[in-house]
Amino acid sequence: MEGQLDPSRLGKKIAISTAGEKVFAFVPPPLPPVPAIRMDALYRPLEAANRALGQLGGVASILPDTPLFLYMYIRKEALLSSQIEGTQSSLSDLLFFESEDLPGAPIGDVQDVSNYVAAMNHGLARIRGGFPLSLRLIREIHGVLLSKGRGSMKQPGAFRRSQNWIGGTRPGNAAFVPPPPELLLDLMSDLEKFIHADTPEIPFLIKAGLVHVQFETLHPFLDGNGRLGRLLITFLLCSQEILSEPVLYLSLYFKTHRQHYYDLLQRVRETGDWEAWLAFFLDGITETSLEAARSAQQILGLFTRDRQQIERLGRPAASTLRVHQLLQQKALITIPEAVRLSGMSAPTVAKSIRHMEELGILREVTGRRRDRMFAYTGYLDILSQGTEPLGR
C-alpha cells in the first residue's frame, strides 16, 4: 500500500485566486481516516512507545523536585521548537534573556522562545484547571505564543482570515496551499469534535498523531502553526493523563529528521498514507521518551554527586547547599538574583558561589568584574544536548 493512492482517504483540491494567482488549495477529509488505520504494522511500534512512556513516567516521578526539572526541560523544548522555524538562539541565550539582572540581553529570536515557554505554561495550567482542549483554548495559547516580538502583527489568538501557503515565495510555487479561510472554522470544528469523540478503537497515541497532521494541514493561523502543532501533542497527552507531567516533547526528533517529517506530512495529503506517518510518529515517541529518561537520570546523578561534594565542605555546606538547590532551577544566576531568591545575605551567597567555583560545579561566564553571571555547567551540558542552532 505504501506510496499508492488511497482514493477514499484523499481530500479535494479547490481552485482559488490569491495574491493575484490561480492555485489549488487542499481541503482534507475529516478524521478519522476512512478506511480505518491498518494497525497490523503499528502494534509493535505502539507497544514500544507505550513502554517507553511508562519508563519516562517512572523516572520523572523519582526526580527530587520535578518542577525544577520541568522549568529547564520546558525551556529546552521551546528552544528546539523555535529552531525548527529558523531561530538561531541557544539555551544560554534564553537564560540570559530571562535574567532580571541583565536587562540588556539580546531580544529578537529569544523573544520567540520566551513566548513559547509562556504559551506552554498557559495551556498546561488551563488543562489542569479542567478547561477542555478546545478551539477557544487553542486560540488562547496562540495569543500567548505571538504576544510579543515578530509574530505580534500576525493576528495573535485569531484564526486566519486570508489565504496562506507553505514553502515557496508565492502561492504559485508553494509546496502546499492549505484550505481557504472561509472553510477553516468548519474544518477546525470537525477537528475539535474528533479530539473529544469517544474512539476506543483508536489507541490514543495514534489519535494524537492523526490530530497533529490534521492541524498542520489546516494551518489555521497566519504564523506559529508549527510551534502550536508540536505543543498540541503534549497538551493532548497531558489532557488524557497519559503524561502526568509535560516531559515528552518531539521537537528534537522532528528537528533531527526534519525533511523526512515534512515529506511524510505531504505523503498523507497526496496519497492518504497515514500508516507511514504514524510509524514515524510512534518511533519518535519511543526515541524521545528514552532520551528524556536518560537525561533525567543523568541530571539526578549530577545533582547527587555535586551535593556530596558540597557536604564535605564542613561549616559552609548548609548555605552552599541552599544555593545549589537554587541552581537546579536557575542554571545561570547572578549574585543579586541568588540573594533575592534565597533570602540569604550577599556575602554568604558570594562565598557559597566561590566554594562551588573551586569545586568545579560553577563557572563565571561573562568575564566581567561587575554583573557577573555563574553557570551550572554540568547541568547546562546535559540539557543542551541536541540544541545547537540549525545552520550554525
Q: What are the residue boundaries of the structural domains of the chain, listed by start?
A: 7-295, 313-383
The predicted model gives 21-50 an average pLDDT of 96
pLDDT score of 87? 61
- Which cell goes with 279? 510509524
Beta strand 362-364 with 332-333: parallel, antiparallel or unpaired?
unpaired
Q: Residue 149: how many CB atoms within 10 A of its CB?
A: 16
Q: Looking at the predicted structure, is the pLDDT value of residue 265 above 70? A: yes
Taken in order 57, 238, 225, 146, the sign of the CA dihedral is negative
Q: Residue 57: how many CB atoms within 10 A of its CB?
A: 17
- The string of pLDDT tens digits covering residues 277-312 is 999 999 999 999 998 888 888 988 999 999 999 999
Cβ atoms of 247 and 292 within 8 Å: the answer is yes
Beta strand 332-333 with 374-376: parallel, antiparallel or unpaired?
antiparallel
| Nearest of 152, 72, 73 to residue 111 by alpha carbon | 152
- Which cell goes with 317? 555546606
Class at the top of the CATH hierarchy for domain 7-295: mainly alpha
pLDDT score of 131? 95
Q: Looking at the predicted structure, is the pLDDT value of residue 266 above 60? A: yes
Beta strand 362-364 with 12-18: parallel, antiparallel or unpaired?
unpaired
Measure Cα distances from 128 to 64, 71, 93, 124, 133 in Å.
22, 17, 30, 6, 11
Cβ atoms of 373 and 336 within 8 Å: the answer is no
What is the pTM (predicted TM-score) of this model?
0.85
Cβ atoms of 191 and 218 within 8 Å: the answer is yes
What is the CB-side half-sphere exposure of residue 159 using CA atoms within 13 A?
Answer: 20
Per DSSP, 39 falls in state -
Cβ atoms of 281 and 257 within 8 Å: the answer is no
Confidence class of residue 109 from pLDDT cuts 50, 70 and 90?
low
Q: In CATH, what number does 313-383 get?
A: 1.10.10.10
- The string of pLDDT tens digits covering residues 43-62 is 999 999 999 999 888 877 77
Strand (E) or helix (H) holding 26:
strand 21-27
pLDDT score of 90? 65
| Nearest of 254, 214, 248, 211 to residue 85 by alpha carbon | 254
Strand (E) or helix (H) holding 27:
strand 21-27
CA angle 57, 384, 331 (to 5 degrees): 85
